[in-house]
């Protein structure tokens, strides 16, 4: 059986009624004021901006620009800037304030819409039992638990589905955080990925329960609670926006991407669930993985797998197409697990 790793995108959590990125935006609009909605729509119409993660990067750029003293004095003091957005006119100061409020509501909605729901745990266990049974079909059932604890799982999802699955199934795992003995708080320790003997979960875009403390440490908090303005311990949530280039030099993303590239290259096959290939850096790593060895395979599972691979990953490059197997199927169904199992068996 080929040595296989697992990559989870938003479609992997869709099976548990978590929204896709596009559905998230539709839900978000319902809580926005009219001006916020028009600014959001304007951002989403910008070329190469496909979802709310890109919007967050644009907002951060606006806020950073406004923080420059000269800009603040020029645009706010003399009110030389105005813009027409979606039929409404904005002065610079008003525009910046709307962007700040829009960002606050986006972060709030991320927590609300992706917060873990105990009622979903039964379905989660059923689905991931089916998936791992499909991947390790050739391993005797008595040995699958041990095999599972050697698995590397990569995800761009912010939710805690895999963490709760592992906890319920009593699977030892790490996502790169170590419990501090005296404070009983969990802090980022990237060396764990090289030391830990258990399932390794790499959350490439951050997580709802990761925070940056005011002294620059990265902490995993026990509950998925929003960091409010009144919280003094934390500086920000650790969420990454795919349009943001500089994140590759920051922790924890630098280590996570390093391990993604390194671990992927040590495998023959990667099963990709529900990923639309809209992150250019991740796409580059997948393409380099394939180019390095013509025997390597990607198995892509999603109702729109073929289109996503063609339009977003390959972008007209036909040379690697034979190394990619697209299963245009919905994750979470028995027939999908059976097809994954058959596909891996044929690669044996």
Report helix, strand or coil for 184.
Answer: coil
Task: Report the pLDDT value the prediction gives residue 347, as an integer from 0 to 100.
Answer: 87
Task: Report the pLDDT value the prediction gives residue 163, as an integer from 0 to 100.
Answer: 94
Q: What is the pTM of this model?
A: 0.87
Task: Report the pLDDT value the prediction gives residue 240, as an integer from 0 to 100.
Answer: 63
Task: Report the pLDDT value the prediction gives residue 135, as an integer from 0 to 100.
Answer: 94
Residues 6+ apart with CB under 8 A from 161: 12, 13, 16, 18, 116, 124
Task: Report the pLDDT value the prediction gives residue 224, as an integer from 0 to 100.
Answer: 47
Task: Report the pLDDT value the prediction gives residue 228, as an integer from 0 to 100.
Answer: 47
Spans in the chain with pLDDT lower than 50: 78, 80, 224-230, 243
Other beta carbons within 10 angstroms of residue 232's beta carbon come to: 7
Task: Report the pLDDT value the prediction gives residue 183, as an integer from 0 to 100.
Answer: 87
Task: Report the pLDDT value the prediction gives residue 235, as an integer from 0 to 100.
Answer: 66
131 vs 82, 95, 286, 303, 329, CA distance in Å? Answer: 53, 47, 21, 16, 13
Task: Report the pLDDT value the prediction gives residue 227, as an integer from 0 to 100.
Answer: 47
Task: Report the pLDDT value the prediction gives residue 76, as an integer from 0 to 100.
Answer: 61
Task: Report the pLDDT value the prediction gives residue 82, as an integer from 0 to 100.
Answer: 60
Task: Report the pLDDT value the prediction gives residue 155, as an integer from 0 to 100.
Answer: 96
Burial 261-278 (b: 16+ CB within 10 A, else e): bebbeebebbbbbbbbbb
Q: Which domains does the chain have, with CATH numbers?
A: 4-17+118-347 (3.40.50.1220), 21-114 (no CATH)
Q: CA–CA separation, 52 vs 49, rounded Å? A: 8
Report helix, strand or coil for 1.
Answer: coil
């Amino acid at each position: 059986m080929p040595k296989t790793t697992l990559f989870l995108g938003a479609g992997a959590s869709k099976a548990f009624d978590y929204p896709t990125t596009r559905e998230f935006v539709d839900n978000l609009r319902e809580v926005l004021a009219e001006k916020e909605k028009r600014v959001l729509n304007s951002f989403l119409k910008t070329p190469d901006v496909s979802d709310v993660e890109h919007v967050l990067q644009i907002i951060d750029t606006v806020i950073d620009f406004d923080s420059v003293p000269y800009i603040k004095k020029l645009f706010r003091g003399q009110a030389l800037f105005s813009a027409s957005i979606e039929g409404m006119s904005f002065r610079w100061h008003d525009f910046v304030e709307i962007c700040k409020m829009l960002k606050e509501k986006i972060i709030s909605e991320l927590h609300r819409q992706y917060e873990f729901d105990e009622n979903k745990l039964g379905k989660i266990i059923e689905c991931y039992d089916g998936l791992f049974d499909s991947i390790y079909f050739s391993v005797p059932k008595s040995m699958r638990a041990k095999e599972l604890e050697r698995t590397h799982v990569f995800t761009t999802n912010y939710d805690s589905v895999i963490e709760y699955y592992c906890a319920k199934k009593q699977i030892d795992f790490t996502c790169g955080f170590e419990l501090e003995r005296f404070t009983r708080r969990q802090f980022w320790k990237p060396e764990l990925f090289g030391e830990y003997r258990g399932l390794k979960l790499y959350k490439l875009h951050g997580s709802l329960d990761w925070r940056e403390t005011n002294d620059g440490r990265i902490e995993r908090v026990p509950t998925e609670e929003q960091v409010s303005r009144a919280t003094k311990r934390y500086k920000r949530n650790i969420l990454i926006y795919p349009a943001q280039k500089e994140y590759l030099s920051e922790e924890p993303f630098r280590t996570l991407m390093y391990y993604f590239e390194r671990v992927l290259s040590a495998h023959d096959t990667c099963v990709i669930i529900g990923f639309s290939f809209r992150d250019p850096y991740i796409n580059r790593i997948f393409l380099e993985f394939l180019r390095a060895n013509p025997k390597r395979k990607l198995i892509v599972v999603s109702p729109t797998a073929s289109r996503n691979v063609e339009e977003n990953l390959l972008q007209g490059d036909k040379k690697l197409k034979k190394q990619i197997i697209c299963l245009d199927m919905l994750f979470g169904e028995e027939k999908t697990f059976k097809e994954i199992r058959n596909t891996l068996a044929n690669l044996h």
